[in-house]
Structures are given as structure tokens and as C-alpha cells.
Amino acid sequence: MSSASSEAALGSHRLGGATLFALSARHVTKRFPGVLANDHVDFDLLPGEVHTLLGENGAGKSTLASVLCGLYKPDEGAVLRNGTQIRLTSPRHGLQNGIAMVHQHFRLVDRFSVAENVVLGHRSLPFRLRTSDLENQVAEVAERFGLPLDPKASVGELSAGQRQRVEIVKALYQGAEILLLDEPTALLAPPEVEKLFETVRAMTKAGKSVVFVSHKLGEVVDISDRVTVMRDGRVTGSVARGEADTRKLAELMVGRDIDLSPRRSRAAAQDTLLHLDNVGLRRDGVDHISQVSFSVRAGEIVGVAGVSGNGQRELAEIVAGLQAPTSGEISINGARVNGIGTRNVRKAGLAYVPEDRLGTGLAPSLSIVDNLVLTRERGFLVDRKAALDEAEAFIKQLEIKTPHAHTATRKLSGGNSQKVLLAREIFGAGDNARVLVVCSPTRGLDVGAVEAVHKLLDEARAAGKAILLISEDLDEVLTLADKVMVLYRGSVVHEALGSEVDVEAVGLAMAGLS
Amino acid sequence: MNIGNLRIELEPRLTSPKWLYVVVPVGSLLCAFIVGGVFLALTGHAPIGTFALLIDRGFTSTRGITNTLGTATPLICTGLAAAFAFRMNLFNIGEEGQMYLGMIGSAWAGIALAGHLPGFAAVPVVLMTGALTGALWVLVPAVLRAKMGTSEIVSTLLLNYVALNLVNYFIFGSRGFFRDPSTSFPQGRLIEESARLTSFGSTRTYPTVIIAVGLAVGLYWYMKRSNYGYETSVLADSPNTARYAGMNATKLTLSVLLFSGALAGLAGAMYVVGPAGKVDPGLLQVGLGYAGIVVAALARYNFMAVVLTAVLFAGLREGGASLQISTNPVPISIAVVLQGAVLLFALGGEVFRRNRLRVRRVQQTVSV
């Protein structure tokens, strides 16, 4: 998009006269080995504006943010601050120009206090530090922007949301006028997200500008004045508040129409394939799972929602035979499978997609071919010829982006490695495996990949598989499941049909308030 | 790094072309010889002439290459032992001790059993006994590692010192089973003649070299194609994945360490059926077990490459040792310097295989 048209898009924000941008990028190009991360990118940020830089993983948005804050030097093009070109040599230099970035992975010293972390690296500190003065200053900045923080607290003991606040206070303390936040909501719980937004509003009221770098269509878009979408290193569009609807943004991100509407089974569910009867897991005097009973029938998806750490992992591992339940009965296809070990459970007809795809579901340094034989019966010698044919068929059929079938899975993107894993567990096991346990299958994936994964699961359901979908992403459960259960502290506390879900009731149940 | 307006950068390669797998090791070897040459020149030796002599006495002369192959035979075994365990991320540092135990075990079999066995079975039984005692020597560290996660590095290393003292005790400290009863001079008792192999002609190469190379080829094929090789590679890469797939990590860990110990024990047994014929404290001076670790690292744990690096290593040692006997004697230390240089450059050369060296002009042009 040319600078002329981006200025036209700004017409609704500024009436007449020349617009003075707080920060601009002009034709910024940045190459990495084998990748053109930014291809003549233009970007403009107004004073007092909240601007989201939206794009899928690898679209080049983080690279652009890194160029803007001085971490990377652009190969071509320029960065302008208040209309004047600046040549940033380092993030510190960026900070001197009032530009700060809060990275997705925080850069704090765990053993230091909040106040010490905030002043760390600040050039104009007196020779003798008076801790109480520093703490007061830090507390004052934090309060002004509605960031509740105890300056004396040790950073190692803070939650992710609190650490993020420390990073923001640090940037503000050091005089940042422009704050770039890389995937700021990725690690936050919903109430923390709301608090972050309050802070952002306080900052824009004080004339500061905020850039969100995000691959999620959801909440960040809501508070943005403008959204600039990137794809494959280029800007594909810039949309002002009110003009942006999710569908249009998704299309700009992915380059094609995206269907994220609910998917339900179209045929009546058939016979019960997976059945749990009063299953419990008690270890070290703690009930990880207690009295869980449900069944999954052929041709349906049963979704298990819940906040992470409420027994999802244990439930999945019990069903998959990796842990034996301490009470109750599990049956697959009518046969009891308690404590017979995961290999035998698989023989009984189970396939399992664990939450951690690279490192549990897949061996990261092994090739796609080698990973396809992981959960199958192998003789004395491993038949890689059949696996190679299968791998090539999957690559073609599921559009897995990889140089070839012998590429190590860790070199694939999250979406592509998930496709390999799903392909193995859905198709690789053949008709024998009719029960599928899937855990958080789209965590960390971008919109296009989410759509592909949901489509795969929907097709597997249509093909008559009985699917147990355990996900921390409530939207995902609501989109796919024919039956919804909520797991709270190891118990099922809420059940509803997918088409009749009361979202509020589910939310309360997830919080343990039902 | 910047020089003037030229910027020199290392850029990661996305893929390494095949020719680099040849060019980089050869280049590393050349660099090592250049460094060695500087040392030679500084100490008043003609570099080219010395190298020519070294290569002749280590590799190209009939006597040189057969001596080298003789030394390389047990070294291939210890190299395979190290490579087998290391590629599984199991750091068995105890090849040295396991080799000594292989020597003791095979000497026992050669003295006590061989006489009662038909001729064709004597050598195989003696070799197998050596392999078995080598495996037994690593049993305790292996169980501790597999069951409780105790570091095998420390336990296998410490057992090397126990093994060393055991050999010394049998020969110098006692008048027991392994000591030659016919003389008061402390030396080992010879094993039965039927359990010994004769070398090829008048060389110092024994038929055991065929077994060593055969093992390398066999292991290469087996670990690449078999289910066992597959499962170990999954476990080495990601223990969680192995658990997910229902593999028995304890059994795999145990078997890998035991087999590694057996290979090292076999090295000791080959020394017994070949040149030594007895428990020989001379083996303690050579350090073939530790050298096996270096050989395996140089070969990047590839079993076929272990054969090549073992021969290279043995040749440098043989050639280096024989340089001491020449018109202008070169101290053995120079050969050791050369070995060290080869290792350093070979490992350093990796950087150039994984990265591309780029020199470019620094551009300051900005288009606005």
C-alpha cells in the first residue's frame, strides 16, 4: 500500500492540513537468509493512537516492530519520527527517541525487585542509588497509568501479567512516547487483558501511541483505532475502527475467504465407541480426576472445556493408556482397556493427538517419514518405503508446506507440523482407530491453520470417528463440539449440547462458580 | 565483523550441499597440517619432509599401513562403543575401563576354557567372554542411569580407575590366576594357543580387523533400518515422544549402555587374541578407550566414519611414533600436537558447513 493511500485512509482521524505522524516506516525492506521478511513496507502511527499490526506467524509484523524500535537495521527504506528521518542503531537509541518495545518473552532479572528492574539500564542514575527514592518514582509512574505494582516485590514471584506491567512501567519510566507490544495478550488471563486495555487507554489519553503486534483477530482489534494487516512481508490493508469486521480482516491476513463458523455433525451419532464410567485418578492423596463419566459415539465430537490445569492432561493420558486410572472403568468399542498400556489401547482402536505437538506427539529432529511410523506396529525392520509414499500423499492432500518428506518436523511451522500429527493419528492408523482424543489442537496456530485443523476434525467426525476434543480454547470447543462438558478441578461440573450452549453458564462453570 | 566498508558475516545455511561434507573435512585436515607445519618449522624440522615421512610411515608404506590397521582394530571397537552410546545421549566415558575388563575376561576364557573347546570355537568364545565382561563392567552405571537417572558420565569414568588398578593388581600386586607362574618377572599368563590368532604374514594386522569393520557396517545398517535403531533415535531425540508412543525407556537405555560396554570389552578381547595373548599392562599406556571417544566425536557418531577416523588416528600415532627414529628425530609431542590440531579443526570446520561466509559492502543508501 502506498503512503498516499494510507494517508487517505487517515482522513477520518485528522481533518485537513498535513498529518504529522509520530512514527512512520517508508519502504522498509529487511531480508533474512532465504526470507524476505519485510518487502517495501509502509506504516504510519498517529500520536495518541492505538494501532494493531495484524498478521499470521511469519507475516513480518515482528520484524517491522523490531525495525521500528531499533533492534534491526532495515536493508532499505527509512524510519521517520515526527516527520524526520532517524537512523536507529540499537534499542537504547530507539528509547532515546521515545520508542520502546515490550517483547513477548520478557527481558527481566528474576532476582531483582520491580523497582530495580525498572531502573536497570537507565543512563542518568545517580552514583549512589537510594532505593526508597527509586521505589517512590516507580510507584508514581505505575499509578499514573493505572498499573498496580509493588515496587519492592521480587520479579521472580510475579505472574506473567504482572511481569508485563513491569516491562511497560520500565518503558514509561525511561520516557517512552511510543510503545510497541509484541503479542501482549498471549500469556494473559481474561481479567489481566482487561487491565492491560485500561492502561493502554490511560496512555493514549496522555498522548502516547501504542502498537499491538498480534496474530489474533479477537480482543486487540476491539480497542484499536486502526488495524494494519500484513501478509508475506507486505502490507495488505489498513482499516480504521468501525470498518473492520473479523471476516474481512481474516481475509486480508490469509489472502482468501476464511470460514470460522460453527461446525456440527450432520448425521445422527451412532454406537458408543468410548465410554468412561466413574473414572478417577488419585495420586499422593490428591484427586486429579474424580468420578468422570461420559461416552462418545461414532460421528460426534465431545468437547471438554476448562481453564488449564483442571485435569485435562490427566484425563487425556488416562484415556490414551499412558496413566492407569485408580478407580472406574474405561472401555473402547465395548472392551475394557484399564491399565493395559498405551500400545494395547491403540490396538483396541485409539488414536491420540497430545497438546504438546513437537516434543510429545512428534520427535522434533526426526523426519516427517520417521514420525509417521511412530505410533504404528513395526516389525524387526522399519518399513520406510510405505511411510514415504504415505508422507508424500499427506503433503499433497493436506497442503503441508515442506521442502520434502525427509525434512525434520521441527523445521516445519506450527500449523504444518500439526497437520503431520493429525494426519498420522486420523488417517495413518487406518480404519481400526475409530476413537480420537485431541488436545488443544490449534494452540499457537494462525487463522489459516486453525481453519484447516477444524476442517480436518470435522471430516474425521463425518467419517464416523468418535472424537474427544479437550481444549483450553473455549471458542474452539463451542465451534466444533456436539456436546460440551466443563472440567473443573478434575470433575465434570457442567454439560450441554453444542447447539444449546449458554456461554455465560459455561464461563461460570470454568471459573468454578456454578 | 567490519573491515573498512566491507562486512564479513556468517550466515546460517538452510541446507548444506553434499560437496561440503567432503570439502570441509579435507580443508580442516589441510589447516591442521599447516598449523603442525608451523610447529615443525619453529622447532627446526623441515615441515614438508617430515609430513612426507609421517604419511609414509603411517599410511602409504606396506609396513606403515599394516601397523596402523593393527592399532586401529581395537580403536574401531572403542570408537563404535562411544558412538553407539553418545548418539543416544548416553555419555559412556568408561570405554577405557570396559576395555581392560574385556582383556581380563577374555584372558580368563583363553586360559580356563579354551583348552576344553574344539579349535574353531576357542577364538569366538574368548571374544564373546571379553565382550560380556565389558558389558558387566557397565552394568551398575547402566542400571543406576536407567532406573534412577544417575549421571553415567561420573560413574563410568570412576570405574575406569577401578579397572586400571584391577589390572595392575592382577599382574603386579598378586601371584594369582592371571600372572605367569613360570617366572618371577611380573607378566601375564599366556592363553591357550588355540585361542590365539596369527597375524597376516609378517605384519601386525590381525584378522580381527575384519570383525571390527564388519561390526561397523553391520551396526550402520542395523541402526538405520531396524525397529531397535528407530526406537533409540526417538528416545534420544525426545523422551516424552518415546513415552507417548509406549516405548520402554528403561529397557532401551539399559540395552544401549550394555552393548556399548560390550563393544569396548571386545576391543580388549581383540588385543588378547591378537598381539598380546595375555593380560598385558602395556594396554594401560595406550589410552585406546579415551581415544575411541575422540574418534567417535570426529566421526560425528557415524559408524562407517568411525572406521575412517580410527585409521586416521592410528596412522598419525604410528607415523608420529616412528618419526622419533629418523635422521633428524622429531619428538612424539609433535605428532600429538598434530592430532590435537586435526581434532580442533575438524570440530571448528563444522561452523563452515552450517554457515556461509559472506563478504559484502556495507550499504548506507536510503530511499525515502
- The arithmetic mean of pLDDT across residues B93-120, rounded, is 95
Interchain pair B241, A380: CB under 8 A = no
The answer to whether the A1-98+177-258 and A270-349+434-446+462-514 domains have the same CATH topology is yes
Residue B237: which of A85, A352, A365 has the nearest Cβ? A365
What 8-state DSSP symbol labels residue B180?
Answer: -
Interchain pair A366, B237: CB under 8 A = yes
**Which among B165, B338, B196, B221 is positioned nearest to B274, based on CA atoms?**
B196
Looking at the complex, report in whole angstroms how far the Cα of residue B245 sits from the nearest Cα belonging to chain A. Answer: 6
List, for residues A369-407, the tens digit of each pLDDT value: 999 999 988 999 999 999 999 999 999 999 998 889 999
The reply to whether B227 falls in a domain is: yes
B230 phi and psi, to 5 degrees? -65, -50
Count of residues for chain B? 368
Residue A266 CA to residue A463 CA, distance in Å, equals: 11
Residue B47 CA to residue A154 CA, distance in Å, equals: 62
Interchain pair B240, A75: CB under 8 A = no
The sheet with strand A300-305 has its strands ordered as A350-353, A435-439, A466-470, A300-305, A483-488, A491-497
Considering only alpha carbons, which residue of chain B is nearest residue A342? B246
Helix, strand or coil, per DSSP, at residue A123? coil
Interchain pair A76, B11: CB under 8 A = no
pLDDT of residue A158: 85
Interchain pair B368, A352: CB under 8 A = no
Residue A78 CA to residue A87 CA, distance in Å, equals: 8
The reply to whether B80 falls in a domain is: yes
Considering only alpha carbons, which residue of chain B is nearest residue A3? B368
Cell of A239: 482499516
Mutate to test the interface with B, among A75, A317, A382 (most CBs of B within 10 A): A382
Domains in chain A: boundaries = 1-98+177-258, 105-169, 270-349+434-446+462-514, 362-431
Residue with cell 591378537: B274
**Which among B178, B368, B364, B211 is positioned nearest to B277, based on CA atoms?**
B178
Helix, strand or coil, per DSSP, at residue B220? helix
Considering only alpha carbons, which residue of chain A is nearest residue B366? A77
What residues contact residue A356 under an 8 Å CB cut-off, 6+ apart?
A: B240
Interchain pair A360, B238: CB under 8 A = yes
Strands A300-305 and A483-488: parallel
pLDDT of residue A221: 72
Most confident of B3-7, B16-20, B309-313: B309-313
Confirm if A467 and A303 have CB atoms less than 8 A apart: no
Mutate to test the interface with B, among A30, A374, A383, A385 (most CBs of B within 10 A): A374
A437 phi and psi, to 5 degrees? -105, 125
Considering only alpha carbons, which residue of chain B is nearest residue A408? B237
Looking at the complex, report in whole angstroms how far the Cα of residue B112 sits from the nearest Cα belonging to chain A. Answer: 37
Residue A210 CA to residue A200 CA, distance in Å, equals: 7
B214 pLDDT above the threshold of 90 = yes
User: Which residue type occupies A421?
Assistant: L
Residue A378: which of B230, B233, B238 has the nearest Cβ? B230
Interchain pair A359, B238: CB under 8 A = yes
Considering only alpha carbons, which residue of chain B is nearest residue A76? B366
With cut-offs at 50, 70 and 90, classify the pLDDT of residue B18.
confident
Question: pLDDT tens digits, chain A, 514 residues: what are they?
Answer: 344 444 444 433 443 345 689 999 999 999 887 788 999 999 999 999 999 999 887 788 989 999 999 999 999 999 999 989 999 988 889 989 999 999 878 888 888 989 888 888 776 777 777 788 888 888 888 888 888 888 888 988 887 788 888 999 999 988 899 999 988 877 776 677 788 888 898 899 989 999 999 887 776 677 899 999 999 899 999 988 878 777 788 888 888 877 777 888 777 778 999 999 999 999 988 999 999 999 999 999 999 998 878 899 999 999 999 999 999 999 999 999 998 999 999 999 999 999 999 999 999 999 999 999 999 889 999 999 999 999 999 999 999 988 899 999 998 888 899 999 999 999 987 678 899 999 999 887 888 888 999 999 999 999 999 999 999 888 899 999 999 999 999 999 999 998 888 888 888 888 787 6
Residue A27: which of B11, B229, B367 has the nearest Cβ? B367
Residue B179 CA to residue B181 CA, distance in Å, equals: 6
Cβ-Cβ pairs closer than 8 A, A with B, add up to 78
Evaluate the CA torsion angle A325, A328, A334, A335 in order and state its sign: positive
Cα B93 vs. chain centroid, distance in angstroms? 11
pLDDT of residue A212: 92
**Which among A165, A174, A172, A177 is positioned nearest to A209, based on CA atoms?**
A177
The sheet with strand A84-86 has its strands ordered as A35-45, A23-32, A76-81, A84-86
Interchain pair B366, A85: CB under 8 A = yes
Interchain pair A342, B244: CB under 8 A = yes
Residue with cell 599368563: B189
List, for residues B266-275, the tens digit of each pLDDT value: 999 999 999 9
Considering only alpha carbons, which residue of chain B is nearest residue A340? B246
pLDDT of residue A226: 92
Interchain pair B368, A341: CB under 8 A = no
Residues of B with CB under 8 A from a CB of A: 11-15, 225-227, 229-230, 233-234, 237-238, 240-241, 243-246, 356, 363, 365-368
Looking at the complex, report in whole angstroms how far the Cα of residue A488 sits from the nearest Cα belonging to chain B. Answer: 25
pLDDT of residue B32: 87
Looking at the complex, report in whole angstroms how far the Cα of residue B225 sits from the nearest Cα belonging to chain A. Answer: 6
Residue B252 CA to residue A377 CA, distance in Å, equals: 17
Interchain pair B227, A382: CB under 8 A = yes
Residue A387 CA to residue A394 CA, distance in Å, equals: 10
What 8-state DSSP symbol labels residue A1?
Answer: -
**What is the dotted CATH code of the domain comprising A270-349+434-446+462-514?**
3.40.50.300
B227 phi and psi, to 5 degrees? -65, -40
Looking at the complex, report in whole angstroms how far the Cα of residue A199 sits from the nearest Cα belonging to chain B. Answer: 35
ipTM over 0.90: no
The reply to whether B358 falls in a domain is: no
Cell of A400: 503441508
In chain B, residues with a C-beta closer than 8 Å to the C-beta of A375 are 245
In chain B, residues with a C-beta closer than 8 Å to the C-beta of A321 are 246
Residue B256 CA to residue B252 CA, distance in Å, equals: 6
Considering only alpha carbons, which residue of chain A is nearest residue B10? A33
Residue A188 CA to residue A212 CA, distance in Å, equals: 14
Residue A380: which of B227, B234, B366 has the nearest Cβ? B227
The reply to whether B13 falls in a domain is: no
Looking at the complex, report in whole angstroms how far the Cα of residue A317 sits from the nearest Cα belonging to chain B. Answer: 9
Looking at the complex, report in whole angstroms how far the Cα of residue B15 sits from the nearest Cα belonging to chain A. Answer: 10
List, for residues B283-338, the tens digit of each pLDDT value: 998 899 999 999 998 888 999 999 999 999 899 888 888 888 877 788 888 778 87
**Which among B251, B308, B317 is positioned nearest to B288, based on CA atoms?**
B317
Considering only alpha carbons, which residue of chain A is nearest residue B235? A363
The reply to whether B40 falls in a domain is: no
Looking at the complex, report in whole angstroms how far the Cα of residue B365 sits from the nearest Cα belonging to chain A. Answer: 7
What 8-state DSSP symbol labels residue A11?
Answer: G
Confirm if A258 and A449 have CB atoms less than 8 A apart: no
Residue B322 CA to residue B175 CA, distance in Å, equals: 36
Interchain pair A359, B243: CB under 8 A = no
Interchain pair A382, B226: CB under 8 A = yes
> Around Cβ A83, how many Cβ atoms within 10 Å?
11
Count of structural domains within chain B: 1
pLDDT of residue A261: 79
Max CA pair span of chain B: 96
Cα Rg of chain B (Å, integer): 23
The reply to whether B30 falls in a domain is: no
Interchain pair B243, A343: CB under 8 A = no
Burial label, B363 (beta-carbon count in 10 A; 0-12, 13-18, 19+): exposed
In chain B, residues with a C-beta closer than 8 Å to the C-beta of A87 are 366
Write down the mean pLDDT value for chain B: 90
B163 pLDDT above the threshold of 80 = yes
Annotate B67-104 with b (16+ C-beta within 10 A) or e (fewer).
bbbbbbbbbbbbbbbbbbbbbbebbbbbbbbbbbbbbb
A230 phi and psi, to 5 degrees? -120, 150
In chain A, residues with a C-beta closer than 8 Å to the C-beta of B363 are 75
Range of the domain at B149: 67-289+300-305
What 8-state DSSP symbol labels residue B58?
Answer: I
pLDDT of residue B365: 43
pLDDT of residue A5: 43
DSSP codes of every residue in A147-180: ----TTSBGGGS-HHHHHHHHHHHHHHTT-SEEE
What residues contact residue B260 under an 8 Å CB cut-off, 6+ apart?
A: B81, B82, B84, B85, B90, B92, B95, B98, B138
Cell of A441: 489442537
Cα Rg of chain A (Å, integer): 26
The partner residues of A212 in beta bridges, in order of sequence, read A52, A181
Residue B225: which of A33, A87, A381 has the nearest Cβ? A381
pLDDT of residue A514: 66
Residue A359: which of B226, B233, B240 has the nearest Cβ? B240
> Around Cβ B180, how many Cβ atoms within 10 Å?
16
Confirm if B169 and B186 have CB atoms less than 8 A apart: no
List, for residues B59-91, the tens digit of each pLDDT value: 999 999 999 999 999 999 999 999 999 999 999
Looking at the complex, report in whole angstroms how far the Cα of residue B280 sits from the nearest Cα belonging to chain A. Answer: 40
In chain B, residues with a C-beta closer than 8 Å to the C-beta of A359 are 238, 240-241
Cell of A482: 456436539
The reply to whether B357 falls in a domain is: no
Evaluate the CA torsion angle A216, A220, A222, A227 in order and state its sign: negative
Residue A242 CA to residue A424 CA, distance in Å, equals: 43
pLDDT of residue A189: 67
**Which among A304, A326, A289, A315 is positioned nearest to A490, based on CA atoms?**
A289
Looking at the complex, report in whole angstroms how far the Cα of residue B355 sits from the nearest Cα belonging to chain A. Answer: 11
Looking at the complex, report in whole angstroms how far the Cα of residue A421 sits from the nearest Cα belonging to chain B. Answer: 12
A333 phi and psi, to 5 degrees? 60, 30
Confirm if A227 and A245 have CB atoms less than 8 A apart: no
Residue B41 CA to residue A400 CA, distance in Å, equals: 58
Cell of A11: 482522513
As a whole-number percent, the residues of chain B with pLDDT over 70 amount to 96
Angle value at C-alpha B309, between B307 and B314, nearest 5 degrees: 95
What 8-state DSSP symbol labels residue B60?
Answer: I
Q: What CA–CA distances, in Å, run from A344 to A272, A363, B222, B244?
A: 20, 21, 26, 13
In chain A, residues with a C-beta closer than 8 Å to the C-beta of B2 are none
Helix segments in B138-248, DSSP class H = 139-143, 152-168, 208-225, 227-237, 239-244
pLDDT of residue B259: 98
**Which among B107, B274, B288, B285 is positioned nearest to B205, based on CA atoms?**
B274
As a whole-number percent, the residues of chain B with pLDDT over 90 amount to 63
CATH superfamily, region A1-98+177-258: P-loop containing nucleotide triphosphate hydrolases (3.40.50.300)
Helix, strand or coil, per DSSP, at residue A349? coil
The reply to whether B346 falls in a domain is: no
Angle value at C-alpha A48, between A45 and A52, nearest 5 degrees: 50
